[in-house]
Amino acid sequence: METYLLRIIALISVLLLFVLIKWYKERQDKRALRLQLLNLVPAKIADRSAHAATAHEPVDPWLGQLRETVRENLRSPHFNVDHLAELMGLSRTALYRMVHERANLSPNQLIQELRLTQARELLESRQYSTLQQVSQAIGFRSTDYFSRLYRTRFGISPVEYLKV
């Protein structure tokens, strides 16, 4: 009887693990799709051209203004959702609702995505010689945290840009 129960528990555990893995993969796919819809995902890092950079502007003017406001304040490591809401003249809740409706991202995810996109542009332009300079230029306090996020987002380490 005990082995029968253990087998049932093992089967349920395996099924639960399968469901969790499938859910996580679908979540990642949905996030990638959302970013593509926002036109924040450029083609491939090596295939990016100046024309492609100008072609990736959002259709929604409010979202464009929001992105511009974020870009103007990326340097500050203290820039956060509360500061963004204040600059946009909205409450934190209203900002979250509007960003979520238009971009299907949280304001914090949007800030992070724009920081990583700016970092990629800085790395490609070779404007800075160290990873610490790049991470500080886009408002990250921790170079390790920036490097981990960058690798997760683009699939390549930012250090690899500096080595080439």
Q: pLDDT of 135-156, one tens digit each?
A: 999 999 899 999 999 999 888 8
Range of weakest confidence among 59-63, 76-80, 132-136: 59-63
Inter-residue contact 147 to 159 (CB < 8 Å): yes
* Token couple for 19: 């469901």
List, for residues 82-140, the tens digit of each pLDDT value.
999 999 999 999 999 999 988 889 999 999 999 999 999 998 888 888 899 999 999 99
User: Is this prediction's pTM over 0.85?
Assistant: no
Which residues make Cβ contacts (< 8 Å) with residue 43, sequence separation at least 6? 52
Inter-residue contact 83 to 75 (CB < 8 Å): no
Residue boundaries of the structural domains of the chain: 38-163
Inter-residue contact 110 to 70 (CB < 8 Å): yes
Is residue 55 pLDDT above 60, yes or no? no
* Token couple for 27: 């979540």
* Degrees, nearest 5: CA angle 54-58-62: 130
* Topology of domain 38-163, CATH: Arc Repressor Mutant, subunit A (1.10.10)
